[in-house]
Amino acid sequence: MSYVEVTNLAKRFDSTPVFKEINFTINKGEFITLLGPSGCGKSTLLRCIAGLNSVDNGSILVDGEDITSLPAQRRGIAMVFQSYALFPNMTVTDNIAFGLKMQKLSSDEIQRRVREGIEMVELNGREDHYPHQLSGGQRQRVALARSLVMQPRILLLDEPLSALDAKIRKNLREQIRLIQQELNLTTIFVTHDQEEALTMSDRIFLMNSGQIVQSGSAEEIYTEPADAFVASFIGNYN
């Protein structure tokens, strides 16, 4: 059995469908990149998996459990956004601890996990800084740590690197991949950047107009594109 099973998932806003029949499975610990042009439905798909959007049809199973109708906070799924979404009036430590406090963990446990999170994303020395005192890359590290300390079953990353400049992007993407592998954390990483997809992923899901048009390793997709869309989209690489 696969760790994540998405079957016949459908989502529309009013009468406009974003997707009608999304099907895929993901193994435990896999790093999946969801790649596709702007507006094809990537963020909506992640939001449906996270429970931030409802779905109109289909099911989402994680580790055999049907989570399709569970509230977001009970899914064990963490999401990182392009815009960081940090609390501006809280320090790095308090931003990372926030979700743990909501879970009513002991203060020892919270402290231990926050320390671990800070070390994982290499923010040592920044504990008492506020978001406005940090660079974009550092802010995204705080957002990543905030997700990791929740010990999620699945990590969803919605274009977490898109607002950063090239060098920081490359650095952070390598670090995300290292952490993910070390934790064996099942991850869906969304991007519209072909190079990120081709260099980071165990498998790529190529999405266009609300459909996953091809899934496979970077090599498969690069050498055997399923159709003209995939060929031209991947062909933009370089």
Min dist CB 179 to Mg ion, Å, is 23
Partner whose binding site includes residue 41, from ligand ADP, Mg ion, none (CB under 5 to 8 Å by kind): ligand ADP
* Spatial separation of the C-alpha atoms in residues 146 and 96, rounded to whole Å: 4
Q: Are the beta carbons of 64 and 1 closer than 8 angstroms?
A: yes
CB of 45 to ligand ADP, least distance (A): 7
Q: In this complex, which beta carbon is closest to ligand ADP, that of residue 17 or of residue 29?
A: 17
C-alpha 171: how far from chain center = 17
Q: How many residues sit close enough to ligand ADP to count as binding (CB under 6 A)?
A: 10
Q: Kindly compute the dihedral angle of the four CA atoms of residues 169, 43, 153, 75, in this order, to the nearest 10 degrees.
A: 150
8 A C-beta contact, residue 147 and residue 97: no
194 binds ligand ADP (CB under 6 A): no
180 binds ligand ADP (CB under 6 A): no
DSSP 112: H
- Residues 10-69, interacting with ligand ADP (CB under 6 A): 13, 18, 36, 38-44
Q: Please give the residues from 10 up to 69 whose contact with Mg ion meets the rule CB under 5 A.
A: 42-43
| CA pair distance 45, 118, nearest whole angstrom | 29
Query: C-beta of 36: minimal distance to ligand ADP in Å?
Result: 6
Of the pair 2, 82, the CB lying nearest ligand ADP is at: 82
Closest CA to 8 of 48, 53, 60, 83: 60
> Residue 188 pairs with which residues in a beta bridge?
32, 156
Q: How far is the CB of 151 from ligand ADP (least distance, A)?
A: 26
Min dist. Cβ of residue 148 to ligand ADP (A): 23
Q: Which residues bind Mg ion (CB under 5 A)?
A: 42-43
